[in-house]
Amino acid sequence: MLAYRRTLALAATFWFAAASPGAPQVGDILKLPESVWTNINRFVFLVAFDVYEPGVTKVPYERHLSKLDSYAELRAACRQWGQETFPALQKIAADLARDDIGNMLVAMKNASEAIDAIAAGRGDPGQLANHRNVFDTQSRALEARFIALGTISETATRQMDRLRTASRATISEYKRRKLPPTEFVEVGADPDAVLSALNAANDSWAWLLFDVQELRRRIGKAQSDAGTAAIYAKIGLTTWKEIARIAQGFMTNVPHQQRFLSGDNYYDNCGPVVEGRQYALSSLEAGQHVLSLDGMGFDPGPKLRLWTLISGMGGPASGKWRFSKIEKGWWRIINVVYGNAKALDGGPESAGVVPLGAFSGQYWRFLPVGNQGGCRLINSYLGDLSSLTALITGREAQNNRPIFEVKLAATTGGRNQQWKLRQLTAAGF
């Protein structure tokens, strides 16, 4: 339950640290560690986007949550994040990455100083209209920019509040019903801090807008430049290039984050796995054994077993597997003996190669485990509470070597549930 509670709590710190008004806090919007965005997008994907076409199947993560009265609202809030909120954050980053706000502020400052100089008799009165036009054009453009960015920020605040409220309701109901935990993803979280940071962001945009408007008021009344200089200092003329650099870095990372939001990140686990190539799967527990089929690979049956690799004898034909992407991080696993006519399938009683079909038992996904280098192999039918497992069912009479049967069993994280992939060459095993 602890892992699931961490998951539903959502993001540890979401936008930017609680800030006092001013430009430097604007840059903090996009300064958060990559892991913050990764955790949010992974969670949102698993709650709201890891589903298939109607009539085919639903994944277990949704099946667990769909028992809850609060799930519909949580799913809607998560879908809003994926379809609206995260794209809106990209709009903020893209706007700041343009690296022109600082130049606009400098142009305003130069123009206002020239206006003051002319008023004091130190400049060319013939240029007054030109300086006023520059100041007015740049300041109005900045007002529009800050209003637009503030609107996006306010919308994100409302959407985050919705996500927080929905997650809290789900946490409470999940605990009350004592449903089993899931370890698809763990996310450290503090929704209250998230909203506090978003509210601070809104204040920052509001203060920036106020400062620009105050500059326009002062210039319009030909007031002393002492007050305007203080406002320019507070806005931070020298900070905007750094803000643009941070925003550009965020935009560079967006394609990577989209992989978590789409589920494509799961294809990176235990890889790289190349579609069409042949692989052997070995259990960390069983040593020099490869996943194969009954009949020692020479007259293969439908069920799975582990075949002992003996020096000089190579390995069985049915110990060779191919992988093809379905979508959203799910693989179809094909045995080379049967080709595309059949696929690896797993249910609560057994696992084996059966005729190809749009069945959730034929949707497989790798999940990393610990630091031993192995991955768990789960399918959509049973979910991450069950993993492909190598079990000793007897001993060979001739040499007392263990006989392994392979099936889906309750997830324990043991070495007999951890698998390694090895790409095969033309020479075979």
DSSP state of 4: H
**Dihedrals phi, psi of 310, to nearest 5 degrees:** -110, 130
How far is the first Cα of the chain from the last one, in angstroms, to the nearest whole number?
Answer: 42
- Which pLDDT belongs to residue 89? 87
d(Cα 234, Cα 211) in Å, to the nearest integer? 9
For the stretch 320-335, pLDDT in tens is: 999 999 989 999 999 9
Model confidence, pTM: 0.83
CATH architecture for residues 279-423:
Trefoil (2.80)
- Which pLDDT belongs to residue 223? 66
Q: Which residues of the chain, if any, have pLDDT below 50?
A: 1-21, 53-56, 183-186, 188-189, 297
Cβ atoms of residues 280 and 315 within 8 Å: yes
d(Cα 116, Cα 108) in Å, to the nearest integer? 12
- Which pLDDT belongs to residue 87? 93
- Which pLDDT belongs to residue 167? 80
- Which pLDDT belongs to residue 190? 62
Kindly report the number of other CB atoms within 10 A of residue 227's CB atom: 12
**Dihedrals phi, psi of 60, to nearest 5 degrees:** -65, -35
Cβ atoms of residues 342 and 335 within 8 Å: yes
- Which pLDDT belongs to residue 395? 79
- Which pLDDT belongs to residue 17? 31
- Which pLDDT belongs to residue 393? 80
Kindly report the number of other CB atoms within 10 A of residue 303's CB atom: 15
- Which pLDDT belongs to residue 194? 61
d(Cα 200, Cα 207) in Å, to the nearest integer? 11
249's CB contacts (< 8 A; 6+ apart) are 30
Write down the domain spans for the chain: 2-262, 279-423
Which H or E run contains 368?
Answer: strand 364-368
Which H or E run contains 240?
Answer: helix 240-262
d(Cα 303, Cα 401) in Å, to the nearest integer? 20
Structure tokens belonging to residue 228: 């305007």
Mean pLDDT taken over the chain: 81
The Cβ-side half-sphere exposure at 299, using a 13 Å CA radius, reads: 1
The Cβ-side half-sphere exposure at 307, using a 13 Å CA radius, reads: 26
- Which pLDDT belongs to residue 58? 54
